[in-house]
Amino acid sequence: MVRGVTFLGILALLLLSCNSKKNDTQRELGLVYNVLRDFDIENYEIFSMNLDGSNKKNITDLYPVDWTYYSYGDTLYFISDRGACKRCYFLYKSNFKGENVQKVNNLELADSWMSSRKDGTELIVKPKLITESTFYVLNQEGEIIDRLDTKLPFAADPLFVNDGKQVVFRGGKTVRKEINGFDEELYIIDADGKNRKQLTHYPEKDTTAGKYEYRAGAPKLHPTENFVSYQSKQNGKYSLYAVSLDGSKTWKLTENEQNEGWHDWSPDGKWLTVELFDDEQSQFHIGLMNWETKEMEILTDTTFQYQQAPHFIYKN
C-alpha cells in the first residue's frame, strides 16, 4: 500500500513537472506601446499587438494620459492622470488585454521608466518630489519599503542590475535639462546608495544633442549578454549604444538608417523592439529586430504619427 502511494505520488509529480514545462513553452510574448491618439488634447493611449504586428488594439481607451514604461511577466505597469489633475501621474497595472485595471497606490510619480527585482515582487520608481534625486522601492502591495538617494541634482529611469544589488539610472548635474550644465549621463550605484559611478561619457566634441535631446536616454539591460543599452544623439542622429556594467567599454549597438529611441529586450535576449523615426520626427514606427541576424521588421503603419516606447509582455 505504501509502495503504491509512493508510486502515485511520483507519477503526479512527473505530470505536474511536464505540465509546468509545457505551460512555460506555451507562454506567448506580445508588445505594448504608446500612441498619441488626439494631438489637440494630448490624449495618449496604450496599444497592444502580436509580435508579427497583427491584432493591434487600444487597451486603455480613455481620454486622460495613459503611458506604459514597464512590464514584468504578464503584468503591465503604466502611469495615468485619470481621475487626477492634468499630468498628475499615478501608477496602475493590468494585463496584456488591459483587463483588471488596478491602482497600485496613491503615490504621485514622475514621468519615468521603472524596473523590478526579486521576480517582480519589488518595483523601483521615481516619485514626484521637490528633491529630484530619490527613487522609491515598492512591494507588491504598493508600500514604500526603501528609498535610494543618488545625491545628484536629477535622477530618473532607474534600472535594477546585478540581481537588484545595483541600479543604473539617467542622471543630471542640474535639476532640469533647461538649466545649463545638466550634462546628462548614465550612472550606476549600489542599492544602498553607496559607490555611485558614472558609466557613460558623451563625446566632448559632439554638439549635436541639443538642450532637450538625449545624450544618454533610459537604460535597458540585455538579459543574457549583461550590458546596458541606451539611446543617444550623436553625429546628428539618434542611435542605440551600449555600455558594460563596469563602464570599461562603450560601443554603438545598431546600424539602422532611421533614428532609434526607446526600446526593450525580450526576456531571452533574442529580440529587440525599438521606436524608429525620421529626422523631423514626423512619423514614429515600432520595429522588431532579430538580435542574431539583425533583421528589422516594421510592425506599425501610418494610422498614428506617434507610436513609441514599446516593450515586451507575456500575453498569458
The secondary structure of 73-133, three-state, reads CCEEEEEECCCCCCCCEEEEEECCCCCCCEEEEEEEECCCCCEEECCCCEEEECECCCCCC
Distance CA 103, CA 108 (A): 11
The predicted pLDDT at position 201 comes to 97
Distance CA 74, CA 96 (A): 7
Distance CA 239, CA 235 (A): 10
Dihedrals phi, psi of 189, to nearest 5 degrees: -145, 145
List, in sequence order, every residue forming a beta bridge with 239; answer none if it has no partner: 232
The predicted pLDDT at position 211 comes to 86
Read off the pLDDT of residues 96-133 as tens digits, 9 standing for 90 and up: 999 999 999 999 999 999 999 999 999 999 999 877 79
With cell 506601446, the residue in question is 33
3-state DSSP assignment of residue 68: strand
3-state DSSP assignment of residue 24: helix
With cell 514604500, the residue in question is 144
The predicted pLDDT at position 7 comes to 45
Spans of all domains in the chain: 30-314
For the chain (length 316 residues), average pLDDT per consecutive 10?
43 46 67 96 96 98 95 98 95 98 97 97 94 93 97 97 98 93 97 98 94 95 97 97 97 96 98 98 98 97 98 96
Q: What is the pTM of this model?
A: 0.91
Regarding beta strands 122-125 and 134-138, do their DSSP bridges make them parallel or antiparallel, or are they unpaired? antiparallel
With cell 505594448, the residue in question is 32
CATH fold of 30-314? Neuraminidase (2.120.10)
The predicted pLDDT at position 148 comes to 97
With cell 512590464, the residue in question is 71
Percent of the chain with pLDDT over 70: 92
